[in-house]
Structures are given as C-alpha cells and as structure tokens.
C-alpha cells in the first residue's frame, strides 16, 4: 500500500470514489455536488497545503481509496488538529487492513498534532468499530453548522 498526494490525472477516478462515498455507503447524509469536489481538488493540488490535503491510497491493483484532511488550531487541545474529513476504500480494498495503515501513516506524518478528529454517521458501524479499535472515542459536543 502506498499513500501519496493527488495528481491532476487522478481527478476522474477520485471523483468516482467521492461520489460513491457520498451516495452509496451510508457514510454521508447527502450527495455532494461535483462543483464542490472540483473546488476541493484544485485547492489540494496547490503546492502549499494550508488547510486541506487530499491523498490517494494505492493498493496492488492501483488506486483503491482516498483521504481528505483539514487542519485547524484548537486552544482546547493546545495545538494543531488534523480532521480526517473523508476516508474511503473501494469494496475490493476493504478488509485488508488499509484503514489501520492509513491512520498509522497519519499519526507519523503529523506527529506534532495535538488531536486527530473525525466524524461518522451512526449507520457507518464498520468505520466506527475501526476508529474505536484505533483508540478514538466519542466526543461529547453537539456539532452544529450554518451554511
């Protein structure tokens, strides 16, 4: 397994995975507009990745997943927080231990981070069980958004 930053030629295959993540897995509450993906993809192609990074995961048969990260500062945590915004694997890549390896890579890559944070829908029990095995626990804050 290899983890790397996206390249322009990854656009369509990653879009296919993103679209499936949002519509075919139960991991998200609603579909994603292609325009939003394009904005994220272009932002993550920039040399300096200030607040977002998109990675692809390569398995034996090519691209088999992606991960989108966002970065923020937390006074409560005392430093940088790495948000695992999205983590997706194709059906063929699931059950091979790639999820655990991605989190090991992230913790090494961002060893200075004070907190790693993620969210999951209640239906996404496979992901929740993985996160719990890796030491993640529920965070007793209500999350609210305004768009």
The CATH number that applies at residue 125 is: 3.40.630.30
Query: In angstroms, what CA-CA distances link 73 with 2, 8, 48, 111, 127?
Result: 28, 29, 17, 15, 25
Please name which of 104, 105, 136, 77 lies closest in space to residue 5, comparing C-alpha atoms: 105
Q: State which residues form the domain around 23.
A: 2-133
Q: How many domains does the chain have?
A: 1
pLDDT at 25: 83
Per residue of the chain (147 residues), give pLDDT as tens: 999 999 999 999 999 999 999 998 888 889 999 999 999 999 999 998 889 999 999 998 899 999 999 999 999 999 999 999 999 999 999 999 999 999 999 999 999 999 999 999 998 999 999 999 999 999 988 889 899
143 within some domain: no
94 vs 39: CA distance, rounded Å = 28
* CA 87 to chain CA centroid, nearest Å: 3
């Amino acid at each position: 397994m290899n983890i790397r930053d996206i390249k322009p030629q990854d656009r369509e295959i990653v879009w296919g995975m993103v679209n499936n993540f949002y519509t075919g897995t139960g991991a998200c509450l609603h579909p994603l507009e292609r325009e939003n993906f394009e904005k994220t993809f272009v932002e993550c192609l920039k040399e300096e990745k200030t607040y977002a990074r998109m990675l692809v995961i390569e398995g034996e048969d090519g691209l088999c997943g992606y991960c989108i990260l966002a970065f923020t500062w937390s006074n409560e945590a005392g430093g940088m927080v790495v948000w695992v915004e999205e983590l997706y694997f194709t059906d063929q890549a699931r059950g091979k231990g790639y999820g655990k390896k991605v989190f090991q890579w992230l913790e090494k890559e961002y060893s200075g981070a004070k907190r790693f944070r993620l969210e999951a829908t209640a239906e996404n029990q496979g992901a929740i069980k993985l996160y719990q095995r890796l030491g993640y626990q529920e965070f007793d804050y209500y999350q609210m958004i305004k768009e």
